[in-house]
């Protein structure tokens, strides 16, 4: 099917989204490192799949732009891993990442609307829908971590986890494996 070329303004806008998705990949690899440090292999694996997913999102945008004859480019954003101590902080970081990404995608879609680009509007809509699913996933883990009482434990302190807490962490991590 013939697809009209995309405008330069939309291309620049979409390229900023490629950077965001690539940045998200770094963020989830950082969270993978966090779980690796505390031997929580279920979440380590889950974070790797999130990182892969972000890379996939960047590829989707690249393919979309390629399909619309865009002179796209890929730029990297600066990223410094934040200090993360509790699982609650990790989940906050994860949720904020997804929520901010959703807002960014909505901005892309608003531009598509402004310039009457229905094809782009639909493309961003698909990505926004996926965002909602990702946000739901984080909320699910928030609920489970709260129920198991492991949200605010300082894992960086040696011996901070007693037997019951350790068991709760293992239970949560096993759920992430399935
Ligand atoms: Fe993404
Ligand atoms: Fe995501």
Q: What CATH code is carried by the domain that includes residue 130?
A: 1.20.1260.10
Kindly state whether residue 54 falls inside one of the protein's structural domains. yes
**127 located within any domain:** yes
Ligand closest to CA 98: 2
53 found inside a domain:
yes
Give the number of the ligand closest to the Cα of residue 60.
Answer: 1
Instruction: Produce one character per residue of 73-82: b if its CB has 16 or more CB atoms within 10 Å, e if not.
Output: eeeeeeeeee
Number of separate domains in the chain: 1
Does residue 3 belong to any structural domain of this protein? Answer: no
Expressed as residue numbers, the domain containing 70 is 8-177
Judged by DSSP in three states, 108 sits in helix
**DSSP H helices in the chain:** 8-37, 41-67, 87-114, 118-147, 163-177
In a domain, 136, yes or no: yes
CA of 134 to the centre of ligand 2 (A): 6
Instruction: Determine, yes or no, domain membership for 46.
Output: yes
pLDDT string in tens for the chain (178-residue length): 678 899 999 999 999 999 999 999 999 999 999 999 999 999 999 999 999 999 999 999 999 999 999 999 999 999 999 999 999 999 999 999 999 999 999 999 999 999 999 999 999 999 999 999 999 999 999 999 999 999 998 888 777 678 888 999 999 999 999 8
48 neighbors 106 (Cβ within 8 angstroms)? no
Query: Is 1 a member of any domain?
Result: no
Q: Report yes or no on 145 lying in a domain.
A: yes
pLDDT at 2: 73
Residue 161: predicted pLDDT = 75
Instruction: Report the separation in Å between the CA atom of 28 and the middle of ligand 2, taken as the mean of its atom positions.
Output: 9
């Amino acid at each position: 099917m013939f697809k009209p070329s995309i405008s330069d303004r939309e291309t620049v806008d979409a390229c900023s989204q490629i950077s965001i998705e690539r940045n998200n990949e770094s963020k989830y690899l950082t969270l993978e490192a966090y779980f690796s440090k505390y031997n929580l292999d279920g979440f380590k694996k889950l974070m790797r799949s999130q990182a892969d997913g972000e890379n996939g999102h960047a590829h989707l945008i690249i393919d979309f732009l390629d399909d619309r004859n865009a002179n796209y480019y890929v730029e990297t954003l600066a990223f410094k891993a934040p200090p993360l101590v509790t699982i609650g902080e990790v989940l906050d970081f994860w949720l904020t990442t997804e929520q901010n990404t959703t807002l960014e995608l909505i901005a892309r879609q608003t531009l598509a609307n402004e310039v009457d680009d229905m094809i782009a509007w639909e493309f961003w809509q698909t990505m926004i829908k996926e965002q909602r699913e990702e946000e739901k996933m984080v909320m699910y883990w928030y609920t489970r971590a709260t129920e198991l009482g492991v949200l605010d434990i300082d894992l960086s302190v040696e011996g901070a986890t007693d037997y019951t807490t350790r068991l709760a962490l293992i239970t949560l991590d096993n759920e992430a494996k399935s």
